[in-house]
């Protein structure tokens, strides 16, 4: 682990050297952000990552950036779209997850198939339905852009390579900390931060009756496990079984973070639920008959008012400062072509 401080002071002076460290600031009820030894954070690297994240030239027809499907105003999900649109109007098959606090995840993608951000980023860059770039072609394309020549040289001795593109993107993604929702303020001692309905919903969420917390726990409301939530009797997308080939893994998907979930509709890996109420009603009904259903999936017997309270609690996980933070916005109009 790289050296880091819990206090997490982000160095902001304009005259700092490009190699100055960037410390990811997190509150006391968060663990320190894990930073891999082989990709230390610097201000210049994070800034380069931000440029790349918003740059459509990283796609084969210059129409799609990471930010096309991961939009800040929707907590870096593809708000409103069940599936996303990649180059040449091609549709994907899964719902784009939020990138809030994604630096804490040790399993990425809905079936958890990628262990870290650096390997994950290669996925969308090369996926024919997303950005559709051959690695050599992408390197050549960026080498022809003088601003990138200079920016990469300042950060990486070996300049523009696929791995360095992935490293810079990952450094930017690790800065995407969302930690300022009403729930966080409540955790930090502001007992007025949650409405009475949200407080009742919180109690249900963390009770054996509501039973959400067995899977959605920790500061990001996920235990990073893979579970079958009985969305269907027959899953079109087989989830974890895509990697393991095992029958019992069909329909298992990663437990998603619930931070900012109010902003990330539609829901689940396939975007099949339009509202939070539909999701909570699904849990209340216990889901569809499915051999692999998690044992926690059973009818909960919650009243309509209790379902409403759970929805109010989920809405208390919205962090408006995250969706408006200028550090996560496009670097400048010129850079986000
Ligand atoms: C065309 C839309 C699209 C584009 C462009 C795109 N993504 Fe995604 N992203 C998705 C979808 C859909 C998923 C879920 C895919 C899956 O699980 O198989 C995803 C998943 C992810 C995840 C995993 C999150 C998690 O919690 O598992 C990360 C990280 C991510 N994208 C980062 C990026 C970066 C960085 C880029 C640019 C290099 C990018 N994405 C470009 C749609 C997109
Ligand atoms: C057995 C583990 C488990 C339990 C219990 C559980 N969840 Fe989930 N939750 C998941 C998984 C896994 C997904 C994603 C499923 C998929 O996409 O197929 C999910 C998805 C969600 C989503 C959609 C998030 C998104 O970004 O699409 C919400 C909201 C949610 N759960 C809320 C709750 C609430 C509220 C409860 C309690 C009533 C609960 N969950 C209980 C595992 C669980």
- The residue-averaged pLDDT of 326-333 equals 90
Query: Would you list the DSSP string of 214-265?
Result: TTS-TTTT----EE-----SS-SS-BTHHHH--GGGTTBEEPPP-TTGGGS-
Pairing of strands 226-227, 253-254: antiparallel
Whole-number pLDDT of residue 20? 84
* Residue 329 Cα to ligand 1 middle (Å): 17
Q: How far apart are CA 286 and CA 303, in angstroms?
A: 14
Q: Give me the numbers of helices (H) and strands (E) for the chain, helices first please.
A: 13, 2
Whole-number pLDDT of residue 332? 77
Whole-number pLDDT of residue 17? 56
- The residue-averaged pLDDT of 42-47 equals 97
- The residue-averaged pLDDT of 308-318 equals 98
pLDDT tens-digit profile of 231-271?
A: 999 999 999 999 999 999 999 999 999 999 999 999 999 99
Helix (H, G, I), strand (E, B) or coil at 252: strand
- The residue-averaged pLDDT of 115-137 equals 97
Stated as kind and residue range, the H or E segment containing 198 is helix 196-205
- CB-based contacts of 165: which residues, under 8 Å, 6+ apart? 52, 58, 121, 125, 138, 139, 142
Ligand nearest to the CA of 57: 1
- Are 43-178 and 182-318 equal in CATH topology? yes
* Residue 124 Cα to ligand 1 middle (Å): 6
Q: What percent of the chain has pLDDT over 90?
A: 92
Whole-number pLDDT of residue 37? 96
Nearest CA to ligand 1 atom 36: 66
Helix (H, G, I), strand (E, B) or coil at 21: strand
Nearest CA to ligand 2 atom 9: 255
Instruction: Give domain limits for the chain.
Output: 43-178, 182-318
Helix (H, G, I), strand (E, B) or coil at 55: coil
* For the CA of 269, the nearest atom of ligand 1: 17
pLDDT tens-digit profile of 161-184?
A: 999 999 999 999 999 999 999 999
Strand partners, 71: 77
- The residue-averaged pLDDT of 31-41 equals 97
Residue 306 φ/ψ, nearest 5 degrees: -70, -35
Tokens of 102: 């994604």
Q: Which of 100, 101, 123, 103 has its CA nearest to residue 111?
A: 123
pLDDT category of residue 333 using cuts at 50, 70 and 90: low
Helix (H, G, I), strand (E, B) or coil at 317: coil
- Report whether residue 49 contacts ligand 2, using a CB cutoff of 6 Å: no
Average pLDDT, the chain: 94
- Report whether residue 172 contacts ligand 2, using a CB cutoff of 6 Å: no
Strand partners, 148: none
Q: Which of 27, 4, 3, 22 has its CA nearest to residue 12?
A: 22
If one compares 2 and 215, the residue with the highest pLDDT of the two is 215
Nearest CA to ligand 1 atom 5: 66
- The residue-averaged pLDDT of 6-20 equals 48
Q: Does residue 111 contact residue 92 with C-beta atoms inside 8 Å?
A: no
Give first-to-last CA distance, the chain, whole Å.
35
pLDDT category of residue 198 using cuts at 50, 70 and 90: very high
Which pTM was predicted? 0.94
Ligand 2 pocket test, candidate residues 215, 290, 301, most atoms within 8 A of CB: 215
- Which residue spans within the chain are E strands per DSSP? 226-227, 253-254
Ligand nearest to the CA of 236: 2
Q: What percent of the chain has pLDDT over 70?
A: 93
pLDDT tens-digit profile of 294-307?
A: 999 999 999 999 99
* Residue 255 Cα to ligand 2 middle (Å): 6
Q: Does residue 50 contact residue 331 with C-beta atoms inside 8 Å?
A: yes
pLDDT tens-digit profile of 258-268?
A: 999 999 999 99
Q: How far apart are CA 186 and CA 240, in angstroms?
A: 36
Whole-number pLDDT of residue 172? 98
* Residue 268 Cα to ligand 2 middle (Å): 8
* Residue 96 Cα to ligand 1 middle (Å): 6
Q: Which CATH class is domain 182-318?
A: mainly alpha
Please state which CATH number belongs to domain 43-178. Answer: 1.10.760.10
Q: Does residue 271 contact residue 82 with C-beta atoms inside 8 Å?
A: yes
- Using CB atoms within 10 Å of the CB of residue 197, give its burial: 0 to 12 exposed, 13 to 18 middle, 19+ buried: middle
- Using CB atoms within 10 Å of the CB of residue 203, give its burial: 0 to 12 exposed, 13 to 18 middle, 19+ buried: middle
Pocket of ligand 1 (CB under 6 A): 64, 66, 68-70, 84, 86, 92, 94, 96-97, 99, 102, 105, 108-110, 117, 120-121, 124-125, 130-131, 169
Q: Which residue positions form the known binding site for heme c? A: 66, 69-70, 212, 215-216
* Residue 59 Cα to ligand 1 middle (Å): 14
Ligand nearest to the CA of 293: 2
Q: Which of 178, 175, 141, 168 has its CA nearest to residue 53?
A: 168
* Residue 268 Cα to ligand 1 middle (Å): 14
Report the 10 Å Cβ neighbour count for 37.
7
pLDDT tens-digit profile of 18-27?
A: 578 999 999 9
- Report whether residue 261 contacts ligand 2, using a CB cutoff of 6 Å: yes
Q: Does residue 24 contact residue 174 with C-beta atoms inside 8 Å?
A: yes
Tokens of 2: 């790289």
* For the CA of 110, the nearest atom of ligand 1: 17
């Amino acid at each position: 682990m790289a050296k880091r401080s819990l206090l997490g002071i982000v160095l902001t002076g304009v005259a700092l050297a490009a190699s100055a460290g960037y410390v990811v600031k997190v509150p006391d009820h968060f663990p320190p952000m894990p930073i891999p030894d082989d990709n230390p954070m610097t201000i210049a690297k994070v800034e380069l990552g931000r440029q790349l994240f918003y740059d459509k030239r990283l796609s084969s027809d210059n129409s799609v950036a990471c930010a096309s499907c991961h939009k800040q105003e929707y907590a870096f999900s593809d708000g409103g779209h069940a599936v996303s649109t990649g180059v040449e109007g091609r549709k994907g098959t899964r719902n784009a997850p939020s990138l809030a606090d994604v630096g804490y995840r040790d399993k990425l993608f809905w079936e958890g198939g990628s262990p870290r951000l650096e390997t994950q980023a290669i996925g969308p860059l090369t996926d024919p339905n997303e950005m559709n770039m051959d690695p050599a072609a992408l390197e050549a394309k960026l080498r022809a852009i003088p601003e990138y020549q200079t920016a990469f040289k300042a950060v990486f001795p070996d300049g523009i390579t696929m791995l360095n593109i992935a490293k810079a993107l990952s450094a930017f993604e690790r800065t995407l900390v969302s930690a300022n929702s009403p729930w966080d303020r409540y955790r930090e001692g502001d007992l007025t931060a949650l409405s009475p309905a949200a407080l009742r919903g919180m109690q249900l969420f963390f009770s054996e009756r509501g039973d959400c917390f067995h899977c959605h726990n920790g500061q990001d409301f996920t235990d990073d496990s893979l579970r079958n939530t009985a969305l269907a009797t027959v899953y079109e997308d087989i989830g974890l079984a895509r990697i393991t080939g095992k029958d019992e893994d069909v329909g298992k998907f990663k437990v998603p973070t619930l931070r900012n979930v109010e902003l990330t509709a539609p829901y689940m890996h396939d975007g099949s639920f339009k509202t939070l109420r539909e999701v909570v009603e699904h849990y209340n009904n216990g889901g569809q008959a499915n051999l692999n259903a998690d044992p926690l999936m059973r009818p909960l017997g919650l009243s309509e008012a209790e379902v409403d309270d759970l929805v109010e609690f989920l809405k208390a996980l919205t962090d408006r400062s995250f969706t408006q933070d200028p550090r996560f916005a496009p670097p400048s109009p010129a850079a986000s072509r």
